[in-house]
Structure 1
Amino acid sequence: MKRKGYERFAVLRRSFPFYLCAFILILGAGSGLLLSKDGIPEDAKYFQITADNGVVLHVLRTEPSSISLYSINDNVVRSETNGINGGFFWDNQLLSIAVMDGIPVNGSPKEYGSGWFNIKYDRGTIVYDRVTGMVDVQRAASVDDLHMSDATKFWAQGGVSMNLKDESKWYNLAVKEERLPFPDDERLRSAMAYDNLGEIYLVVTSSKCTAGQFRTAIKRNVAVGNLNEAIFLDGDGSSQLLAGNVKLEGDARKVLQMIGVTGERR
């Protein structure tokens, strides 16, 4: 009897790694978030590019259905969620649109600083319509100005229009009309872009550059030949990224809002 007991224990011990792996896979599938070996969700890809103008781009590419917007009031790296910083803010007031399925991420609908408004200006806002699956940029002062199929089935992230298809007018639109801060200073930069298939690109620099240099680097190196449009996000010390083992914390400050890559959701 004692020998049989030892044999059963030996079998269980040999089988334990298999059962542990199976349990982890089931747990990951149940949560809807499967991570690759580098800690990035399976439906996302990270890559780094040094543009010919010297700007170093860090890019997270994913499907729009995998995007979630959060109010974190922390550094993106410390959030432990893959993604980048979001829109502009002041203290605990969000100055850019950030809405998930009709709910602003930092308060209640129509409340100042909640993420319902692009405060003061009509600004470029990327909108994903869950019903049609379409992504576009809309200039808006508030969520009330946006167009979508269902007011409870979309996300919207505000920033400043990059206007990638108009070389002669982009600067005037971004700087004079939408008031992009410090466009000609060399600073860290962040952006959200999408291609003709609707895939999303979250972009952060680890080198300082002007807004024009950043825009050029994106145009020439991200989704080449297939890039559609983009918006500038908050920048400088707020330019932050977490992509598995890649960590860019800006100047280590807290940001109010981030754009997370959290796996497929409908």
Structure 2
Amino acid sequence: MERKGNWNGGFAVIRRSFSIYLGAFILILGVVSVWILSKDGIPEGAKYFQKTDDNGVILHVLQTKPSNISLNSINDNVVRSGTNGINGGFFWENHLLSIAVMDGMPANGVPKAYGSGWYNVKYARGTMVYDRVTRMVDVQRAASVEDLHLTDATKFWAQGGVSMNLKDESGWYNVAVTEEKLPFPDDKRLRSAMAYDNSGEIYLVVTSTKCTAEQFRTAIKRNVAVGNLNEAIFLDGDGSSQLLVGNVKLEGDDRTVVQMIGVKGEN
């Protein structure tokens, strides 16, 4: 009888302790869940915002530091990839036609291979480059990685597209269309771009409305990093214009793209 009483008392203590621990666990889980939901899945160190220009163009913008950018071969839709970011450069079938290189390695194959991301195929085109040594961002016209000006050929990323020339109102169209062969500039299509400001912040931009290249460029100038915007490049567009930022999903026409520009959280 003595031992039974002790056992019952011990069980009561255990039961009370379990209730306390369970309550604490539920409270912690609730706090963590609220924090996760409040982030809406947006990576640490990134910001998402939406702007509607006076010309009706709706911009979806993901802002982050260049050190958070990753250039990935996905061969899928950006939304299905599960990675925050937007579509990258031009492609044909499974061949990447725009430069997409990180630290000396192309996103879609091996260095100097056709379709790997080592070349802006056929044309020297606007390519955004981040130098990890100097921590500087700029846009360079290049046909291949060998044309880029780099401090260290193993410490950089480069994303090819078409020059937007934000500071050249009279000449930008000729460069983009005649020289760099921007596809369908005057058609109303979904558009994508990559821009940077004077502080080196990166802006990944996708429209959810169809527009011409000029309308898109104007909307970016008037709504992204106003007064501080430096330069930008057009990326692939139309059905390839895709974005995933937390709960925001733009699938384009649901097509598969070869490469995307991912945004990872800060360490």
8 Å contact kept, 1:80–1:242: yes
Matched, 1:204 2:213: no
1:227 to 204, 229, 233: 229
Aligned partner of residue 127 in structure 1, secondary structure: strand
2:96 to 80, 94, 109: 94
2:249 alignment partner in structure 1: 247
Q: Deviations over 1:219-257 (max 9, x none)?
A: 111110000000000000000011111110000001110
For the aligned residues, what is the CA RMSD?
1.8
Aligned partner of residue 230 in structure 1, secondary structure: strand
**Displacement, 1:149?**
1.2
**Displacement, 1:178?**
0.4
What TM-score do you get using the length of structure 2 for normalisation? Answer: 0.92
8 Å contact kept, 1:100–1:154: yes
**Distance in 2 between the 1:36 and 1:161 partners?**
37
8 Å contact kept, 2:193–2:204: yes
8 Å contact kept, 1:123–1:160: yes
**Distance in 2 between the 1:55 and 1:176 partners?**
24
Structure 1 residues 244 and 6: alpha-carbon distance in aligned structure 2, compared to 1, 3 A threshold: same
**Distance in 1 between the 2:215 and 2:161 partners?**
18
Map 1:113-192 onto structure 2 (within 5 A): 113-192=115-194
- Percentage identity across aligned positions? 77
Matched, 1:109 2:107: no
**Displacement, 1:42?**
2.1
Structure 1 residues 60 and 35: alpha-carbon distance in aligned structure 2, compared to 1, 3 A threshold: farther
Q: Deviations over 1:102-150 (max 9, x none)?
A: 1000000000000000000000000001111100000000001111111
Q: Which runs of 5+ in 2 are unaligned?
A: 1-9
1:263 alignment partner in structure 2: 265
1:79 to 78, 81, 84: 81
**Displacement, 1:21?**
7.4
Aligned partner of residue 115 in structure 1, secondary structure: coil
8 Å contact kept, 2:87–2:240: yes
**Distance in 2 between the 1:201 and 1:243 partners?**
13
1:193 alignment partner in structure 2: 195
Matched, 1:4 2:13: yes
**Distance in 2 between the 1:133 and 1:233 partners?**
23
Which letter maps to 2:151? S
Which letter maps to 2:51? I
8 Å contact kept, 1:81–1:260: yes
1:64 alignment partner in structure 2: 66
1:31 alignment partner in structure 2: none
Q: Number of matched residues?
A: 257
**Displacement, 1:264?**
2.9
Aligned partner of residue 3 in structure 1, secondary structure: helix
Larger Rg: 2
Aligned partner of residue 39 in structure 2, secondary structure: coil
Q: Deviations over 1:12-52 (max 9, x none)?
A: 2122235657999xxxxxxxxx9952110121111111101
